[in-house]
């Protein structure tokens, strides 16, 4: 087998996790992101009610096609925290899950059948921040810090339809400042080369300014200006998930499945997995 087919094969698996407080729209968003109904096996009649509360870590795999390229995408949905009376170490089960995937990979890598390892490592974690707070809450800080050495964290501002554009802008700035202030290491978009064209640089800058991506999720299709779109219907109008004037959904999706997928995988392998591996080897030789 040639080298290229091997890397092509390796290139098309991607695992995305969602985490954060319960009720912020995590399950709805991953459903909207990949336009397939991830939760269709649940036998509920009303589509609006189809997404029920996530009570344990669940994994769904979907095959999607992006510009003619086939991708096998795995979504890891996690139960939101905040429901329990005691939220101490609510991040523990999520951190353990990530570690278990590393452990499995590490074991497979040292085994006999190294060529056909199934890579279940988590390449990216969308962390949902409430639109109702004044920036980050202590739990958000604790959660992200517990995970930031293990996984690429991409923060998102949930339910952006509950905020005005001005509020979104202010909240984003505040959250970016707090991320910096608390020393949270979120996923860093790679800097573009100096010889890159202006268009590209501008896009790159816009992407950095989007953090945390303002998102809106919906599992219903509504009619807007004669077109059927994924959106939310309110007495005063329609919020369209895929309208760039309404939220950063399209930007986030493109970042994940087109422009930065490979980098997210590279950072997972070169930084997060290497850290895990080094710790393992250290503890074995101690």
Binding site for Mg ion (CB under 5 A): 26-27, 54
Exposure letters 172-187 (e unless 16+ CB within 10 A, then b):
beebbebbeeeebebb
- Residue 248 makes contact with ligand GDP by CB under 6 A: no
Q: Does 82 bind ligand GDP (CB under 6 A)?
A: no
Among 14, 19, 90, 161, binds ligand GDP (CB under 6 A): 161
Q: Is 212 in the site for ligand GDP (CB under 6 A)?
A: no
Q: Which of the choices ligand GDP, Mg ion, none does residue 272 contact, using the CB cut-off of 5 to 8 A by kind?
A: none
Q: Which stretch binds ligand GDP (CB under 6 A): 26-34, 86-94, 171-179, 265-273?
A: 26-34
Longest dimension (CA), the chain: 67
Nearer to Mg ion, 27 or 32 (CB): 27
**Residue closer to Mg ion, measured from CB, 139 or 238:** 139
Nearer to ligand GDP, 19 or 211 (CB): 19
- Quick one: 23 or 120, whose CB is closer to ligand GDP? 23
Beta-ladder partners of 57: none
Partner interacting with residue 24 (select from ligand GDP, Mg ion, none; CB below 5-8 Å by kind):
ligand GDP
Q: How far apart are CA 120 and CA 251, in angstroms?
A: 25
CA distance 38 to 61: 8
Shortest Cβ 271–ligand GDP spacing (Å): 28
Within 215-234, which residues bind ligand GDP (CB under 6 A)? 216-217
Could you say which of Mg ion, ligand GDP, none residue 155 binds, taking C-beta under 5 to 8 angstroms by partner kind? Answer: none
Q: Which residues contact 46 (CB under 8 A, 6 or more apart)?
A: none
Q: Other CB atoms closer than 10 Å to residue 220's CB: what's the count?
A: 14
State the SS3 of 134-177: CCCCHHHHHHHHHHCCCCCEEEEECCHHHCCHHHHHHHHHHHHH
Please state, in angstroms and rounded to a whole number, the distance separating the CA atoms of residues 63 and 199.
31
24 binds ligand GDP (CB under 6 A): yes
Task: Compute the distance between CA of residue 255 and CA of residue 14 in angstroms, rounded to an integer.
Answer: 13
Residues forming the site for ligand GDP (CB under 6 A): 22-28, 51, 54, 80, 159, 161-162, 216-217
């Amino acid at each position: 087998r040639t080298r290229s087919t091997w890397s092509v094969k390796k290139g098309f698996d991607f695992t995305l996790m969602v985490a954060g407080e319960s009720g912020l729209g995590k399950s709805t968003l991953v459903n909207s992101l990949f336009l397939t109904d991830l939760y269709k096996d649940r036998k509920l009649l009303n589509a609006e009610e189809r997404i029920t509360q996530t009570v344990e870590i669940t994994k769904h795999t979907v095959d999607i096609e992006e510009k003619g390229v086939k991708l096998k995408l795995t979504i890891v949905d996690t139960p939101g925290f905040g429901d329990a009376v005691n939220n101490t170490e609510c991040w523990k089960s999520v951190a353990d899950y990530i570690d278990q995937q590393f452990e499995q990979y590490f074991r497979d890598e040292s085994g006999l059948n190294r060529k056909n390892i199934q890579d279940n490592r988590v390449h990216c974690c969308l962390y949902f921040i409430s639109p109702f707070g004044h920036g980050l809450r202590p739990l958000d800080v604790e959660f992200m810090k517990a995970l930031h050495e293990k996984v690429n964290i991409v923060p998102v501002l949930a339910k952006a339809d509950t905020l005005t554009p001005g509020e979104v802008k202010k909240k984003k700035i505040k959250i970016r400042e707090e991320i910096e202030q608390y020393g949270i290491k979120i996923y860093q978009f790679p800097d573009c080369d100096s010889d890159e064209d202006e268009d590209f640089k501008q896009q790159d800058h816009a992407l950095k300014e989007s953090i945390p991506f303002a998102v809106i999720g919906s599992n219903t299709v509504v009619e807007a200006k004669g077109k059927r779109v994924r959106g939310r219907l309110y007495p005063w109008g329609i919020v369209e998930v895929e309208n760039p004037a309404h939220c950063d959904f399209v930007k986030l999706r493109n970042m994940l499945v087109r422009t930065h997928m490979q980098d997210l995988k590279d950072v997972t392998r070169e930084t997060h997995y290497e850290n895990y591996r080094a710790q393992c080897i250290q503890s074995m030789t101690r």
